[in-house]
Amino acid sequence: MGVVHVTDQNFEKEVLQSDIPVLVDFWAAWCGPCRAIAPIIEELAEEYAGKLKVCKMNVDENPITPGKFGIRAIPTLIFFKNGQPVDMITGAVAKSTIENVIQRLLSS
């Protein structure tokens, strides 16, 4: 189903009330490393379709949610399960590093 772009308005519904685990990529246009991992995030959305919901939130356009989670660095990836943040990665990392967390999330 591809990447879902979420906002402060629909974060609750799309992420916290999701039936399946969710990965949210907090990013902004001015952030080089965010751009570097963007293709990986899209690949993950395809590869884990149906098992993991992959979302992106632009922190420039949506200040409330990043503030709630104390985000002061991007890219930050937060993994949610049953409405709770359960894991987090800060900075641009290799796809395999993200997949390790996804595997753990899906098998727990």
Partner 1 sequence: MAETHDLVIIGGGPAGLTAYLYAARARLDCVLVEKTSPGGQVLVTDLVENYPGFPEPLSGFELMDRFVAQVKKLGLQTISGEVVRLEIEGERKKIVFDDGRVLQAQAVIIATGARPNRLGVPGEEEFLGKGVSYCATCDGPFFRDQEVAVVGGGNTAVQEAIFLTKFAKRVYLIHRRDQLRAQKILQERALANEKITILWNRVVEEIFGQDQVEGVRLKNVKTGETETLKVQGVFIFVGISPQSEFVRGVLPLDERGFIITDCEMRTEVPGVFAAGDVRAKACRQIVTAAGDGATAAFMAEHYLSQK
Query: For binding to partner 1 (CB under 8 A), which residues are involved?
Result: 28, 30-40, 43, 60, 70-76, 88, 90-97
User: Between residues 31 and 101, which has the closer beta carbon with respect to partner 1?
Assistant: 31
* Integer Cα distance of 4 and 53 in angstroms: 8
| 31 catalytic per annotation | yes
- Closest distance of CB 74 from partner 1, Å: 5
* Integer Cα distance of 103 and 108 in angstroms: 8
| 55 catalytic per annotation | no
Of the residues 34, 40, 59, 92, only one is catalytic, namely 34
Strands 76-81 and 53-58: unpaired
- Closest distance of CB 17 from partner 1, Å: 26
Of the residues 3, 4, 28, 31, only one is catalytic, namely 31
- Closest distance of CB 56 from partner 1, Å: 15
Instruction: List, in sequence order, every beta strand (DSSP E) within 1-108.
Output: 4-5, 22-27, 53-58, 76-81, 84-90
- Would you say how long the chain is, in residues? 108
Catalytic positions, please? 31, 34
